Chain A
């Protein structure tokens, strides 16, 4: 085996909701430091797959490994502690808090609270706060959010809220980032900005990225490998070139040729 180490391994997972099979025996690996795109028509099971990886859904069968460790039975917050972080298709932020507060809240996972220390807010607690603020400020700088640092998130435009959400996912300092349609509903310029940020995160922070995206042009540009789902099954896997010419993929997207 000359393959690089699998950062994340999805092994034969099957997920059912009553009589509906959302994921049917899906397996794939995400290698350390790559950008993998998950594509497929509506209802193919992409978001179900991300939800299974992050722990929101529990597949009926199959296993999920992170860094070789079986995380199938871990709850979402423990997976987050191990370095899994995600964004949502429908943005999920504290809408009445500022950008800064949303990002700081995400730092909780790295905080070492002690009741007395927090109450007097001195020494340790203060240093801790400064340390986390610095991490958050670097993310604000990285994602060019200086102007909205103190803006209430609920009042921001859609594209900016998406960016704040990405910032919050980064504030966890993840080793794997799961992005559920980070560019949906954006205009061309916003999409280009977001694509640039994703590439920068990947390049600068060495984060492994799993991405769901509908804009094929963008996927082909930024992903190194692509996994294609259709009706809950994996129908193809490969580089953008391979996927572009794959007959099963063409059929799934264009409908069965008569």
Chain B
């Protein structure tokens, strides 16, 4: 293979893997795979389950097929043309999967939008993507659409699937899912083979979805992702983390996120996994426990919050459980340390671990719904090594997965090589190269087709040789594992010339059960690193109650002397692992939590640093001027749109 010989020196080995074979033209789109799978299993196998009325309601492949066919033809009879875009805004439900497959079966492009998008964000995506239909989950989303009606004249109809609260809406612009399906059935009666013809017209090179990037830096851009990209993207993972048709998958990550598209929908139609939908967002944890899936991918924040939940509950547990936990956790850590050095733990350690597994680790895994877990992945911002170690100690082999919207999976842990400090190796079919300024380049068959209506941005992102420039900084170690540092542009120099990674500090700080968010401060004009910290209110409140610290509100609690002492200990713990020059010297606890509704966080809960730096300028200036307290007047925007003003004194302390 010529490509192999010409490959740059530092790439992953690229063997002939069955998953990398060219796509069969009869199976090169998601709808084609879906139809084939429905033919194979018919009414004999469950395709999906949705928990409703407290019971897991089942849908077979045949049932699923009828919904997709009817909805697809319904959209066609409403005028959907090949290549047109349809936006979907809703929570994970069978109807979302059906709607997306129906849009793609008709040759359309599905555009996922996060359910908590506000009017402005929603209007932007609808306009930017040139959407012609909107499939909106429920009353909440329909109300947003009705409010936006004038701004989005290109939208021909809004289709909802949860009629609750919409009974009295009389508007020809709004249609129910069933109404569209009924139109589809009428269409099919006139042209019986219309659906099969539409599906057959699709090609692997067609765009399947637009996935809007979360926009940490600028306005979101619509990444155009072809069917072929999705199928290969999933295969790259499958090659090293096999998934079988009988495996249960729990769908709860937003479908606007590429990962859910790849490991959820694509694996469902290409492998035949059973997709389970939780009853509602609040019951997800319990529903996961009931299903006990074999594979899971959480963003790192979710793993961290699971861990701090367990730690807090453990602190409140009965004496026996606390004693068992205190006794066996160190044994768990010990065994993990052996494994991490690539050694087998001595037999007595393993025997003790086995005992701990029966007494405490397995019950813990059961509580988390992870008794059958084979492939537990974490993605997004890097998870602290301490959290990784903890999960491995209780028997959940948590693996890092590093990827992007544009190229799906770049690297992951596999083949038993789980290294805490790395994000793993590229799977077969993916090449990694480290370019100038330590930027990570990726090349594979899942590299996207460009940003919609943004040729300049596209040219910057994909070079002539097909490398996707990630904008991330990292390096490959001797084992070929990638070590992720930070965004290239986010490594920050101090006045001393030392570079530090704010994200690294923030992740480590967040590992404390008492810290919900943190923002590390520092720049070329500053001599040292400072930090803004947001307390985890529930946990700190519980701590305060236990230690007889009285408080009234979040603002009051956050500024207590005792709370500062509590947080100071965590800051010192993080500092201990760092060289003197880049330790946190001073910090302040904020009087409010960061809020995505106030644009302080992105929708995937990443910090919007520029905005935060401006918003909390007074406090940051005070940290560097040596002051011990500063008065702040902060405008707060309530959920109903009103604004109010909070005035308070915020302390600043030395570590």
Q: Is the CB of B53 within 8 A of A134?
A: yes
Q: Which of B54, B55, B280, B639 neighbours the largest number of chain A CB atoms within 10 Å of its CB?
A: B54
Contact A200 B164, beta carbon cutoff 8 Å: yes
- Pair A188/B283 contact, Cβ less than 8 Å: no
A146 and B283 in contact, given A137-B53, A138-B53, A140-B54 (Cβ under 8 angstroms): yes
Contact A147–B283 (Cβ < 8 Å):
yes
Residue A192 interfacial (CB < 8 Å): yes
What residues on B are CB-neighbors of A146 within 8 Å?
Answer: 54, 279-280, 282-283
CB distance from B139 to the nearest CB of A (A): 9
Nearest CB in chain B: distance from A146 CB, A: 5
CA distance A140 to B282 in the complex (A): 14
B53–A188 CB distance below 8 A = no
Interface band, chain B: 10 to 19
B640 on interface, CB distance cutoff 8 Å:
yes
In the complex, are the beta carbons of B640 and A141 less than 8 A apart? Answer: no
Q: Are A149 and B54 in contact (CB under 8 A)?
A: yes
Between A and B, 24 residue pairs with Cβ closer than 8 Å are A134-B53, A137-B53, A140-B53, A140-B54, A141-B52, A141-B53, A142-B164, A146-B279, A146-B280, A146-B282, A146-B283, A147-B280, A147-B282, A147-B283, A149-B54, A188-B638, A188-B639, A189-B639, A189-B640, A192-B640, A200-B164, A200-B165, A203-B168, A204-B167
- Give CA–CA (A196, B167) in the complex, Å: 13
Known: A147-B280, A203-B168. A188 touches B640 (CB 8 A): yes
Q: Give the docked Cα–Cα distance between A55 and B638 (Å).
A: 42
* Closest 5 pairs between A and B when the two form their complex, measured CB to CB: A147-B282, A137-B53, A146-B279, A147-B283, A146-B280
Instruction: Give complex CA distance A147, B281 in Å.
Output: 9
Chain B residues whose C-beta falls within 8 Å of the C-beta of A140 in the assembled complex:
53-54
How far, in whole Å, are A147 and B52 apart by their CA atoms in the complex? 12
Contact flags (1/0) for A181-201 with B, using CB distance below 8 Å?
Answer: 000000011001000100010
A144 interface residue per 8 A CB criterion? yes
Contacting pair A137 B54 (CB below 8 A):
yes
Minimum CB–CB distance for B225 against chain A, Å = 33
Mark out the residues of chain B between 151 and 194 whose CB falls within 8 Å of any chain A CB in the assembled complex.
164-165, 167-168
A250–B52 Cα gap in the complex (Å)?
49
Q: Is the CB of A203 within 8 A of B167?
A: yes
Q: How far does the alpha carbon of A141 sit from the alpha carbon of B138 in the complex, in Å?
A: 14
Question: Chain A contact residues: over half helix, strand or loop, or mixed?
Answer: helix
Residue of A with least CB distance to B55 = A137
Closest chain A residue, CB of each to CB of B279: A146
Hey, which chain B residues are within 8 Å of A141, CB to CB? 52-53
Which residues does chain A contribute within 8 Å of B283, judged by CB atoms? Answer: 146-147
Q: List the interface of chain A (C-beta within 8 A of B).
A: 134, 137-138, 140-142, 144, 146-147, 149, 188-189, 192, 196, 200, 203-204
Q: Once the chains are docked, how many angstroms separate the CA of A144 from the CA of B139?
A: 14
Asked whether, in the complex, the Cβ of B165 is within 8 Å of the Cβ of A196, the reply is: yes
- How far is A134 from B168 in the complex, measured between Cα atoms in Å? 25
Docked Cα-Cα span, A141 to B168, in Å, equals 19
- Given contacts A146-B282, A147-B280, 6 further A-B pairs with CB under 8 A are A138-B53, A141-B53, A146-B279, A147-B283, A200-B165, A203-B168
Q: Which residues of A contact B640 (CB under 8 A)?
A: 188-189, 192
B→A interface (CB under 8 Å): 52-55, 164-165, 167-168, 279-280, 282-283, 286, 638-640
Chain B interface, >50% SS class: loop
Which residues of chain B have C-beta atoms less than 8 A from A192's C-beta? 640
Q: Separation in Å of the A116 CB from the closest CB of chain B?
A: 28
A134 contacts across to B, CB distance below 8 A: 53
- Bound-state CA distance A140–B54 (Å) is 9
B168: chain A residues within 8 A (beta carbon): 203
A227–B55 Cα gap in the complex (Å)? 44
Query: How far is A196 from B165 in the complex, measured between Cα atoms in Å?
Result: 8
How far, in Å, is B206 (CB) from chain A's closest CB? Answer: 38
Q: CA A189 – CA B642 in complex, angstroms?
A: 12
Query: With a CB–CB cut-off of 8 A, which chain B residues contact A196?
Result: 165
Interchain CA distance A188-B639 in the complex, whole Å: 9
* Whole-angstrom CA separation of A212 from B622 in the bound complex: 51
| Distance A181 CA – B425 CA, assembled complex (angstroms) | 61
Identify the closest chain A residue to B638 (Cβ): A188
Q: How far apart are A106's CB and chain B's nearest CB, in angstroms?
A: 17
The complex places the Cα of A137 from the Cα of B167 at a distance, in Å, of 20
Question: In the assembly, what is the distance between CA of A41 and CA of B280, in Å?
Answer: 40
Q: Which residue of B lies closest to A134 (CB)?
A: B53
CA of A136 to CA of B573, assembled, Å: 51
- Please indicate the chain B residues that have their CB under 8 angstroms from the CB of A142 in the complex: 164
Which chain A residues lie closer than 8 Å to B279 at the CB level?
A: 146-147
B10 to chain A, nearest CB (A): 49
Whole-angstrom distance between the alpha carbons of A203 and B167 in the complex?
Answer: 8
Q: Given the complex of chains A and B, what is the CA–CA distance between A200 and B163 in angstroms? A: 11
Residues of A within 8 A of B167 (CB): 203-204
Bound CA–CA A188/B640 (angstroms): 8
How far in angstroms is the closest Cβ of chain A from B56? 13
Q: In the bound complex, how far is the Cα of B638 from the Cα of A144, in angstroms?
A: 23
Q: Which residue of A lies closest to B53 (CB)?
A: A137
How distant is A224 from chain B, measured CB to nearest CB, in Å?
14
| Complex contacts, A204 vs chain B, CB 8 Å | 167
Bound state CA distance, A137 and B639, in angstroms? 30
Chain A residues contacting B165 (CB-CB under 8 Å) are 196, 200
User: How distant is A200 from chain B, measured CB to nearest CB, in Å?
Assistant: 6
Contacts of B55 in A (CB 8 A): 137
Minimum C-beta distance from A238 to chain B (A): 24
In the bound complex, how far is the Cα of B167 from the Cα of A204, in angstroms? 7
A144–B279 alpha-carbon span in the complex (Å):
10
The residue in A142, A147, A204 that gathers the most chain B C-beta atoms within 10 A of its C-beta is A147
Residues of B near A203 (CB, < 8 A) are 167-168
**B292 CB to nearest chain A CB (Å):** 18
B-chain residues with CB within 8 Å of residue A144 when the two chains form the complex: 280
CB-based nearest A residue for B285? A147
Roughly how many angstroms separate A73 CA and B54 CA in the complex, as a whole number? 41
Q: Which residue of B lies closest to A199 (CB)?
A: B165
- Distance between Cα atoms of A147 and B284 in the complex (Å): 9
B168 and chain A: residue at smallest CB distance: A203
Minimum Cβ distance to chain A for residue B375 (Å): 27
* Chain B residues with CB below 8 A from A149, complex form: 54
User: In the bound complex, what is the Cα–Cα distance between A254 and B164 (angstroms)?
Assistant: 40
* Shortest beta-carbon distance from B192 to chain A in Å: 37
CA distance A204 to B164 in the complex (A): 9
Instruction: Give the residues in chain A near B638, CB-CB below 8 Å.
Output: 188
Cα(A146)–Cα(B638), bound, Å: 26
Q: Separation in Å of the A163 CB from the closest CB of chain B?
A: 13
Contacts of B282 in A (CB 8 A): 146-147
Question: What's the nearest-Cβ distance from chain A to residue B150, in Å?
Answer: 25
Q: Which residues of A contact B164 (CB under 8 A)?
A: 142, 200
**B176 CB to closest chain A CB, in angstroms?**
15
Shortest C-beta distance, B537 to chain A (Å), equals: 15
Chain A residues within an 8 Å CB radius of B54: 137, 140, 146, 149
Instruction: Please measure, in the bound complex, the distance between the C-alpha atom of A149 and the C-alpha atom of B168, giving whole angstroms.
Output: 28
Alpha-carbon gap, A146 to B277, bound state (A):
14
Q: Closest chain B residue to A144 by CB distance? A: B280
Closest to A138 in B: B53
Report the minimum CB–CB distance from B252 to chain A (whole Å).
14
| Residues in chain B near residue A188, CB distance under 8 A | 638-640
Bound-state CA distance A140–B286 (Å) is 17
B162: shortest Cβ distance to chain A, in Å?
Answer: 10
Considering only CB atoms, which chain B residue lies closest to A149 in the complex?
A: B54
Bound-complex Cα distance A134 to B55 (A):
10
B629 to chain A, nearest CB (A): 30
Residues of B within 8 A of A200 (CB): 164-165
